[in-house]
């Protein structure tokens, strides 16, 4: 029964880079549908540095929730709630190891990006940043997300194709607007005709963000 309620509980977390508590920055890196921690950690050498710890949780069965991110919430439960609990627990663990929220970055691609930004939206704080690579807030059309809490200027980057078959550009824009209303410093870049991928410009933004945080 517990597994049905929290399907992602107890799954492994892959660590890369500086040991947790020894680095200046922690990145919680969330993989996409049908992938694994190693896939999202392919980004680590390109955007990280010696002062960054990467924590990459694994989804049970390789998928955080079964349907598209704009399906009715109930059709993606208990996956969404369990997955967000995993992300929040990793934030708490990093803080317990002496890394303040201001130096914790949430990062994800595709399904992992949707999960990362929704986890942040449900627990707003002044984070080091949120890197939303091809993703948007979870919820069906017409969702009214809570505006409670304040991001306090957290830099949140949205990068996505303008014709992504999985992530509608309108939802990316809607998500960006909502988080701005919650006090985030949002950067939105829609790339004309790009596939469902991460491009060099997005990698550069991530690398510069982490370098800036590590230098503080």
Query: Could you give the residue numbers annotated as active site?
Result: 110, 164, 196
Contact 70, 171 (CB under 8 A): yes
Give alpha helix (H) positions in 1-129. 2-5, 37-40, 44-47, 79-96, 111-122
Give alpha helix (H) positions in the chain. 2-5, 37-40, 44-47, 79-96, 111-122, 169-181, 200-215
Q: How, if at all, do strands 13-17 and 52-57 pair?
A: antiparallel
Contact 160, 167 (CB under 8 A): yes
Contact 107, 130 (CB under 8 A): yes
Contact 66, 51 (CB under 8 A): no
d(CA 65, CA 80): 6
């Amino acid at each position: 029964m517990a597994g049905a309620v929290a399907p992602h509980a107890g799954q492994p977390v892959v660590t890369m880079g500086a040991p947790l508590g020894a680095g200046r920055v922690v990145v919680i890196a969330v993989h996409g549908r049908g992938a694994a921690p190693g896939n999202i950690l392919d980004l680590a050498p390109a955007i990280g540095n010696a002062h960054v710890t990467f924590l990459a949780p694994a989804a049970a069965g390789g998928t955080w929730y079964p349907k598209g991110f704009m399906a009715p919430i109930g059709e993606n439960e208990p996956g969404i709630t369990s997955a967000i609990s995993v992300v929040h627990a990793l934030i708490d663990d990093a803080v317990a190891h002496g890394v303040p929220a201001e130096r914790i970055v949430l990062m994800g691609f595709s399904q992992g990006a949707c999960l990362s930004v929704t986890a942040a939206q449900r627990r707003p704080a002044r984070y080091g940043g949120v890197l939303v690579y091809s993703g948007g807030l979870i919820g069906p059309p017409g969702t009214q997300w809570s505006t409670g809490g304040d991001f306090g200027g957290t830099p949140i980057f949205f990068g996505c194709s303008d014709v992504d078959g999985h992530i509608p550009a309108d939802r990316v824009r809607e998500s960006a607007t909502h988080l701005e209303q919650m006090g985030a410093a949002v950067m939105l870049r829609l790339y004309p005709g790009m596939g469902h991928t991460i491009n060099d410009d997005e990698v550069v933004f991530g690398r510069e963000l982490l370098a800036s945080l590590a230098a503080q």
